[in-house]
Each structure stands twice: as structure tokens, then as C-alpha cells.
Amino acid sequence: MKRVAVLSVHTSPLEQPGTGDAGGMNVYIVQTATRMAALGVEVEIFTRATASGLAPVVEMAPGIKVRHVVAGPFEGLGKEELPGQLCAFTAGVLRAEARHEPGYYDAIHSHYWLSGQVGWLARERWGVPLVHTAHTLAKVKNAALADGDAPEPRMRVIGEEQVVEEADRLVANTDVEAAELVKLYDAAPEKVLTIPPGVDLERFTPGDRGAARAALGLRPDQVALAFVGRIQPLKAPDVLLRAAAELLVRDPSLRSRLVVLVVGGPSGSGLEQPRALQLLAEELGIGDVVRFLPPLAGDALAGLYRAADVVAVPSYNESFGLVALEAQACGTPVVAAAVGGLPVAVRHGVSGCLVNGHDPAEWARVLGHVALDPGRREELAGNAVAHARRFSWERTTDTLLAAYSDARNAFQREVHR
């Protein structure tokens, strides 16, 4: 495996995750590309140009190029408008490849269905296999919508079905997602591979918890509950706020000690009301308890995880939940909704707790059970580190590279038949 074309139409690996369309998928692409480059596999990532000043090609790191493809206006184009730009994007991808000798790329890895559509055509033209990761699936998402959230359109469902049919390999984060691909999308089971994502175990370490808390101005006696991620109804940060309000009703003396940290920026349907969560905090009478922080990067993010007593992941749907792994790697127990990949990311009763449903009273009970009982918290925190260490981007990358090679061999056998 010499060189891989990675397709990431709707979001760039150069963007800061945790706001807008940038999230776990960006982290996945950057982390696996970094490891592939370290192993001598060149990675070229195609993404849509979203500003006129962007260089056509940016060297993100040695061995990793980001190619900005012009497809539609640079700014002001929503994700829902991107299907109309797929022809232009594909033309840009094919044009870039045409400048090289045949066989320049050994495999294509597309991320999210929009990229899968582009990869489908590139596969046909280049004669190399297409490996696809969906990241989220419309049929799964539509079955677990947040209140008032619009369902994903039929266009996406059809587009996903086509990609499932055309891709040589489908990468699922968990066995549950693999089963969904087979059951809901009729994927051929032999094409589907479960490859768990990883966590950066050098960045996300238990570190100095006291220093991390001091850096955020947290007193030793304060109890900090944190939400980290894109702020949108599907991620349900409102459930954490409602649960915090409930904790205060149960024990008003907590008011001087409770802090809720919300880290991230508006995204998806959350962009329609970017201040909805601040307004909710006021409405619930906990405006003084909740602290909103912009998206954090690198060590600041690791510090935030370390400082928190508990990280909550109340999502309605989560194909994996990298935040849960990162928090645990920092030695912080996670209370997560028992949906999607979260039961894999969190070991219930061992490294954190899973909650069925989104009833704030139940969330308050479980959050309180972990955050307000230091003995219990310490026990979970120790196990959380051990649990997170079972995942690593090195392992994810090795398995992905094996999948590319395997797909390539099968593809060539097919061609020569």
C-alpha cells in the first residue's frame, strides 16, 4: 500500500472539531492519516474548499496532503445543499488524479455518504477498491430523533443504499453498526468489517487532576459535570442541564458546589437557535451553574476532561462516541446513553454508567450516584483508564490498512477473472 485517497467532502481535517460539521469524523481521519503516514503510506485527503484563500494543496504533515476541491460557492453552503455539488466535487477529484500516472492511488476510503457517492465513481475510473465508513446512518438516526428534530431526507437514505451496494468494504465502528448495515441496508455480510476507532493515548492521560481543576478555576470541593461536543439536539446537552437542575431540587445545598461545563459550538439543527442552551439554563434557573466554553483543542481539552468529575454523553444516537473514550483515558468516568456504540465505549458499572432513555430524573440519579460519591467515582476512574487503553488509533490504522490490502487483492482477482 503506497498511497490512499481519502474523501471527506463535507468537512475538512484542518477544521477544529467540536463545532459546525467538524466532529469525530475529522478526528478519525486525522488520527488514522497520521499513523498511516508514519508507516510510510501517503495519504491525500480531498475536501471541499470553503474559503477563497485556501491553497489548492496543503501539506498537513509529512506524508499527508489536503486537497481543496472547488465545488460550489466557498461560503454559505449548508451540508444539506452539498448533494447538488457532488458532480463538481467528483470532477475535481478525477482531475487531480489525472495529473498522475495510472495507479497513483492504491485504495479509496470515503467518509460519510456524500463522499461515498464520489468514491463510487472514482473506484470505477481508477480501478481501485472503495472502502467506506458511514459514520452515521440515516435510517438509524431517523429511528431515534431528538424532539422536534427533522428526519434525514429520503435522498440520503437512497444515497447510502447505493454506496453500501457499490463499496468493496464497509467499515463499521461496532458490531451493532455492522448488523445495522446488513439488516437495514442489505449489505453483503462479507463486505462488512468491524474496526473500532481509537483514542490518542499520548494526549489523553490521567495527568495532574488538581492542576487541571485549578486551571479552570474549580475549587477542590466543587462538583463538575461536563458535556463535550457539537451542540445540537441529537447530542442532547439539554438532558445534562435538566438533570443538573433536578440534582439541585433534590439537594439545594449543592448549588454552591455544582458546576456544569459545556464545551463546543453549535452544529446541525442546533445552528437554527445557537443560544437555545443558554436560554434553557436561564429558564431552569441554573444560569449561574452552567459555564459555556468554546471548542477546545489539544492539551486544553485533555485538561477539561481531567478536571471534570463526570463527563456526560446523553446523545439520542452515537455511532461510537470518541468523547467517551477520551474522557475515560483521562481518568474520568462517563455517564452515557445506552445507544449506538456507547455501550462499547463505556463499560457499564465498570468504567462509567449507561442510562436507558433521557429522563432527566433518571440522569440526575445516575450522575449523582457517580459524581457525589467520591469512593464510587475513584473506583470507576481507575477502571476507565484501563478500559480506554483497550482502544488505540495504531490498532485502528493497522486494521484499516489490512482491509485496504485485502480489498485490493479481491478487486484485482475480480478484474483478472
Would strands 64-69 and 57-61 be described as parallel, antiparallel, or unpaired? antiparallel
Q: Tell me how far, at minimum, the Cβ of 6 lies from ligand UDP, in Å.
A: 16
Can you tell me whether residue 274 is helix, strand or coil?
coil
Q: Is 50 annotated as a binding residue?
A: no
**Distance from C-alpha of 309 to C-alpha of 369, rounded to nearest angstrom:** 12
Q: Is 139 annotated as a binding residue?
A: no
126 burial (CB, 10 Å; 0-12 / 13-18 / 19+) is buried
Comparing CB distances to ligand UDP, the nearer of 30 and 64 is: 30
Q: Is 213 annotated as a binding residue?
A: no
Q: Is 24 annotated as a binding residue?
A: yes
Q: Is 23 annotated as a binding residue?
A: yes
Can you tell me whether residue 60 is helix, strand or coil?
strand
Q: Is 22 annotated as a binding residue?
A: yes
**Distance from C-alpha of 13 to C-alpha of 109, rounded to nearest angstrom:** 14
Comparing CB distances to ligand UDP, the nearer of 70 and 201 is: 201
Residues in the chain: 417
Comparing CB distances to ligand UDP, the nearer of 23 and 92 is: 23
From residue 135, give the alpha-carbon distance in Å to each of 159, 173, 226, 253, 367.
14, 8, 24, 42, 28
Q: Tell me how far, at minimum, the Cβ of 318 lies from ligand UDP, in Å.
A: 7
Given a contact cutoff of 8 angstroms between Cβ atoms, the answer to whether 66 and 12 are in contact is yes
Comparing CB distances to ligand UDP, the nearer of 160 and 326 is: 326
Q: Tell me how far, at minimum, the Cβ of 214 lies from ligand UDP, in Å.
A: 20
Comparing CB distances to ligand UDP, the nearer of 298 and 375 is: 298
- Which residue's CB comes closest to ligand UDP? 23
Q: Tell me how far, at minimum, the Cβ of 10 lies from ligand UDP, in Å.
A: 13
Given a contact cutoff of 8 angstroms between Cβ atoms, the answer to whether 178 and 192 are in contact is yes
Q: Tell me how far, at minimum, the Cβ of 115 lies from ligand UDP, in Å.
A: 15
Q: Is 10 annotated as a binding residue?
A: yes
For residue 121, what is its C-alpha cell? Answer: 465513481
Comparing CB distances to ligand UDP, the nearer of 18 and 159 is: 18
Q: Tell me how far, at minimum, the Cβ of 320 lies from ligand UDP, in Å.
A: 5
Q: Give the torsion sign (CA, 29, 33, 35, 41).
A: positive
**Distance from C-alpha of 290 to C-alpha of 226, rounded to nearest angstrom:** 10
Q: Is 326 annotated as a binding residue?
A: yes
Q: Tell me how far, at minimum, the Cβ of 414 lies from ligand UDP, in Å.
A: 33
Would strands 334-337 and 310-313 be described as parallel, antiparallel, or unpaired? parallel
Q: Tell me how far, at minimum, the Cβ of 23 lies from ligand UDP, in Å.
A: 2
Q: Is 17 annotated as a binding residue?
A: yes
Q: Tell me how far, at minimum, the Cβ of 40 lies from ligand UDP, in Å.
A: 26
Comparing CB distances to ligand UDP, the nearer of 66 and 304 is: 304
Cβ-based neighbours of 355, under 8 Å, separated by 6 or more:
314, 335, 336, 337, 338, 362, 363, 366
For residue 411, what is its C-alpha cell? Answer: 478487486
Q: Which residues bind ligand UDP (CB under 6 A)?
A: 17-18, 23-25, 27, 228-230, 263-264, 295-297, 301, 320-323, 326
Comparing CB distances to ligand UDP, the nearer of 29 and 353 is: 29
Comparing CB distances to ligand UDP, the nearer of 260 and 407 is: 260
For residue 309, what is its C-alpha cell? Answer: 468529575
- Please name the residue that has the C-alpha cell 433536578: 246
Given a contact cutoff of 8 angstroms between Cβ atoms, the answer to whether 139 and 184 are in contact is yes
**Distance from C-alpha of 137 to C-alpha of 192, rounded to nearest angstrom:** 14
For residue 16, what is its C-alpha cell? Answer: 477544529
| N-term to C-term CA, the chain | 22
Given a contact cutoff of 8 angstroms between Cβ atoms, the answer to whether 333 and 239 are in contact is no
Q: Is 36 annotated as a binding residue?
A: no
Q: Is 306 annotated as a binding residue?
A: yes
Q: Is 307 annotated as a binding residue?
A: no
Binding residues, as ranges, are 10, 16-17, 21-26, 79, 112, 136, 156, 230, 235, 305-306, 308, 318, 326, 332
Binding residues for 1D-myo-inositol 3-phosphate, as ranges, are 10, 21-26, 79, 112, 136, 156
Binding residues for UDP-N-acetyl-alpha-D-glucosamine, as ranges, are 16-17, 24, 230, 235, 318, 326
